[in-house]
Structure 1
Amino acid sequence: MAKEHHYQTQLRWTGNRGEGTSHYRTYDRDHLLSANGKPEIAASSDPSFRGNPQRYNPEELLVASLSSCHMLWYLHLCAVNGVVVVDYSDSAEGTMLETEDGGGYFSTVVLRPVVLVKEAGMKEKAEALHHEANKLCFIANSVRFPVRHEPVISSAIG
């Protein structure tokens, strides 16, 4: 039987300039995201949609969630397969297409992990584990667009 996990977050709109949503241009898209016992995340919409460029937007948070989920699975798989990762970074990029009606959708996300493993003999396995991590990532399994990987693997020794 599948084990259920539940996640709760809170959202509070902070963009009322005094007139509420009386007009499309009379309110800010600013809001705060939080979860019990954690710091708030200042968010808004993308600047293309009248958002605050100083705050995270939902599209960035989706790309960041995919990047984070992949990394966590990848590090787990490396640990249980004898691949010693000593450094990991990712420059993830998502592409969203806006539709004529003002909606839109993501067409792809590309993760570009740069991984440093302890020894050169670990590089081949380290690269292969990216595919396995993608198959296990909860977030990647929940989206309807492809999540591609362009890893760069190097070694500290050898």
Structure 2
Amino acid sequence: MSKQHHYTTGLRWTGNQGTGTSNYKDFQRSHSIKVSGKPEIQGSSDPSFRGDKTKYNPEELFLSSLSSCHMLWYLHLCAVNEVRVVDYTDQATATMEENTDGGGKFIEVILHPKVIVEEQGMIEKAMALHKEANEKCFIANSVNFKVIHRPSCKVSNSVD
């Protein structure tokens, strides 16, 4: 039997300059995202769409969701498969394609997880677990494009 989980976030537009949306150029795209009991996130649109470059945009948050979901599943799978990860980083990239009408969609996400494990004998299993993590990731299973993985793995005392 499947189990459902429910999520609630609050969003508030904070970019009213006094005249609301009277003109496309007369309002800021600033907003705040709030989840009960957690720090507020300051957001805006991408600077390409008149947003504030110092604030997170939805596209960055979306990419971060894919990256962190993969990492969390991966670390779980490593733990249950006795692969001892001592460090994990990712520099995820994404490509969004804008249509002539201004709409668009993401067409590609590439995760670049760099994993450091305790022992040489763990590398093969550590690399293989990325596939299973992708298959289990809630966010990756919810998108309509392939999430590509280009992982690397080394032992904690090895030199680059």
Both structures adopt the same fold (TM-score exceeding 0.5): yes
Instruction: Give the Cα–Cα distance (whole angstroms) in 1 for the partners of residues 136 and 155 of structure 2.
Output: 25
Report the Cα offset of residue 33 of structure 1. 0.3
Instruction: Give the Cα–Cα distance (whole angstroms) in 2 for the partners of residues 153 and 122 of structure 1.
Output: 9
Q: Counterpart of 2:71?
A: 71
| Preserved contact between residue 120 and residue 157 of structure 1 (Cα < 8 Å) | no
Q: Counterpart of 1:30?
A: 30
Identity %: 62
SS in 2 for 1:6: coil
Q: Quick check: 1:122 aligned with 2:117?
A: no
**TM-score normalised by the chain length of structure 2:** 0.97
**TM-score normalised by the chain length of structure 1:** 0.99
SS in 2 for 1:2: coil
Instruction: Give the Cα–Cα distance (whole angstroms) in 1 for the partners of residues 131 and 155 of structure 2.
Output: 19
Instruction: Give the Cα–Cα distance (whole angstroms) in 2 for the partners of residues 53 and 151 of structure 1.
Output: 29
Number of paired residues?
A: 158
Structure 1, unpaired ranges of 5+? none
Structure 2, unpaired ranges of 5+? none
Instruction: Give the Cα–Cα distance (whole angstroms) in 2 for the partners of residues 17 and 145 of structure 1.
Output: 38
Q: Counterpart of 1:134?
A: 134
Structure 1 moving runs of 4+ over 4 Å: none
Q: Counterpart of 1:43?
A: 43
Q: Counterpart of 1:2?
A: 2
Q: Quick check: 1:90 aligned with 2:90?
A: yes
Q: Counterpart of 2:57?
A: 57
